[in-house]
Structure 1
Amino acid sequence: MTWIDRTNRRVADSSFGRYFRLEHSGHRKERKGSRFFTEIRAGLATLISLGQKHSEEYMLCVGIVQRDLVTATAAIAALTSFFMGLGANIPIACAPGMGLNAYFAYQVVGYHGSGPVPYRLAVTAVFVEGFIFVALSILGMRQWLARAIPASIKLATGAGIGLYLALIGLTYSAGIGAITGAVSTPLDLAGCKPEFRDEVTGVCEGYKLRNPTLWIGIFCGGIVTAFLMMYRVKGAIIAGIALVSIISWPRPTEVTYFPYNSEGNQSDVQQMEHVSPTNLWENSQHS
């Protein structure tokens, strides 16, 4: 028995293990396969997967919408995930749906309030919606509504969300840059360096599938992780993410995440932090 197994047993024998119904805790509803270090690895993998890459456009957005709103979003995700595990004992990470937030901001309210619904009314509707969902949860109606949905729709919804996330992971904005939008077709093969992309359409004008970062993501982030999972290596997802992060860290390489430009230099980011939202707005009006 290794020290990991001994630690898992000690934690399971404690009140902490009985509360979370870990394996060998003695709880009448203990969960098989739920061990202390297993849950720690799963939590770390979920935390790393939830992390998003911040680009220069994101930093400009932060300067405009103020940091307290971004901090509130992160705090809500941390708080709800904590209570989901503490109260419901369910290993699910909770976070605001950024796709729904984008729909709310750009379609309902509109850019700078140009949408059909005033932002005060829209925010009030979201506030009331929260109380409605709490009431439905207390009365048990949410479970009834969930059971009323046909199983085929539930499976199709999961598959659709998975395909949507896979599509995002293949794009340039938040993925490895294997595909991009096109003019004549919905998607086009990409994988070129930024200097070979059209500034207007974003389509690769040449040198497709020759971006080194693309192959780092495919082999180190995808194939290596798949092999580790196939051989049941513990922490396979964390190892794949860590491998890509380590390779992308050194600056004087073709695959670095911190190139010697405005996006990679920390000094430029610090200068952006001192730019006030008023100056950004005035500059955008004169440009």
Structure 2
Amino acid sequence: MTGFVTRINTAVAQSFIGKWFMLEGSSHPRPRAGTTFSTELRAGFATFVTMAYIISVNSLIISDTGGTCVCDYDPLDPAKGGASIGARAGGGAGPATGAGDMIAYCSTNHEYTECIDIVRKDLIVATAAMACIASTAIGIFSNLPLGMAPGMGINAYFTYTVVGKFGSGKISYRVALAAVFIEGLVFLVLSILGLRQWLARSIPRNIKVATGVGIGLYLCFIGMQSSAGIGLIRSDPATLVGLGGCNSEYLDASGACLAGRMESPRTWMGVLGLFIISILVLYKVKGAILIGILFVAVVSWFRGTSVTYFPDDPMGDSRFNYFKQVVSFHTIQKTWAVMDFQLNTGEFWLALVTFLYVDILDTTGTMFSMAQFAGFMDPKTGDFEGSTPAFITDALCVSLGAVFGTSDVTAFVESGAGITEGGRTGLTAVTT
């Protein structure tokens, strides 16, 4: 088996692919030491499994905007979630009008929730498509082992601060996408003129490195929560965050554990996965992160266990039926090219400037952190190899992502998993 892999590695290295990606043993004048085809594939798969969560999480978050769906809420019509005129004028009994009432009404509107379900499926396709396009492009044109996709954090800001739950914010989903689209064009101009690289070099090195660390801690915090992780931590009325690990029957309305802390089998399965990865990394086992993730995933597939992802209830049945499809195709219906360029509002420009600021720190910090981790930084220039095509690719993908209907596309700090597995070329990104 080893001999077969060696022959494959040698054949690919001596081909056009090997030369393009600067594999060791290729005819490229500056091959990257220690790079092989099999290592790049393994590294790309490791990056993929660590960032695959974004496909479901991003669609869930951005679909909370309501997308292009229209709710028939009317603050003046009690039949459509509003208060009666008499109740509002006289202060009598009746629901108070406002964003809370609109959200409550729309969340129970069957037609509206069905439309949002279509938007969510559209965004699943959009997120997967943009991750594929962006990762492939940055791998081919900049030869960097970076996975890219619509980013965490900025998607929450896009949804809950800019657009608001079910469109209850200052600007609509369509206008917010227009701001993202223009942001990408601004970044494209800055990248072509070299100003983005200048801005990146102007950021102190400790901030660029700390950005990657901060994003990593943020993702770790998300992974420890219950909505998108193992439930190790929960909300706490006194300290905001407290020890969790309890089963759902012990949760109060705020999500805090009333009893049974650290008794959830799913939490302990997550802790076991982290322990396995830590031990394998300590002993420098190839594919350590991949092995740990796959172990937890496979164990959770079996039904009838306390750690299954498919419990014996309607929700579990729905998940399992969807899981059994393996491959499903959905055509984007409601999020493709729906930007609305209303440039005459202050809220639009505030959102645009904020997107620019956050993306400069997020993407630039992540790219520099990963380049430093992979050993690509030039200490003399303070820059990394392939920075210009990487920034141009990022800018184009930000605008393209807006066309698909999603928020900013950015480099993922999860790329560090692939770099840890030995990924050093764009083949890692293409595999992802």
| Fold in common (TM above 0.5) | yes
CA distance in 1 between counterparts of 2:141 and 2:319 reads: 43
Whether the 8 Å contact between 2:163 and 2:176 is mirrored in structure 1 is: yes
> C-alpha distance in 1, partners of 2:160/2:251?
26
State whether structure 2 residue 192 is matched by structure 1 residue 138: yes
Amino acid at match of 1:17: G
Q: What is the number of equivalent residue pairs in this alignment? A: 267
* Deviation digits for residues 6-58 of structure 1 (CA, Å, limit 9, x no counterpart): 32122111121111101111311111122111110111111111222859x95
Matched, 1:88 2:88: no
Match of 2:8 in 1: 7
Counterpart contact for 2:56–2:124, Cα < 8 Å: no
Residue 202 in structure 1 maps to residue 248 in structure 2: no
Q: Match of 1:238?
A: 290
Question: In 2, distance between residues paired with 1:70 and 1:249?
Answer: 21
Moved runs in structure 1, 4+ residues, more than 6 A?
267-270
Structure 1 segment 1-287 matched on structure 2, within 5 A: 2-52=3-53, 58=60, 63=117, 65-198=119-252, 200-219=253-272, 221-266=273-318
- The alpha carbon displacement at 1:238 in A equals 1.4
- One-letter identity of the residue aligned with 1:69: L
TM-score by length of 2: 0.58
State the one-letter code of the partner of 2:19: R
**Secondary structure of residue in 1 paired with 2:7:** helix
> Which of structures 1 and 2 has the larger relative contact order (alpha carbons within 8 angstroms, sep 6+)?
2
Question: TM-score scaled by structure 1?
Answer: 0.86
Amino acid at match of 1:165: L
- Cα drift, residue 121 of structure 1: 3.4
Structure 1 residues 86, 31: closer, same or farther in 2, change over 3 A?
same
Q: CA deviation at 1:64?
A: 5.3
Quote the RMSD (CA, aligned, Å). Answer: 2.3
Letter in 2 for 1:30: P
Counterpart CA distance in 2 for 1:262 and 1:230 is 41
In 2, the alpha carbon distance for the partners of 1:66 and 1:257 equals 20
Identity %: 46
Shift of 1:110: 1.9
Partner SS, residue 265 of structure 1: helix
The alpha-carbon deviation at position 249 of structure 1 amounts to 1.4
Q: Distance in 2 between matches of 1:217 and 1:268?
A: 20
Q: CA deviation at 1:91?
A: 1.0
Aligned counterparts of 1:161 and 1:131: Cα–Cα separation in 2 = 25
Distance 1:66 1:234, change over 3 A: closer
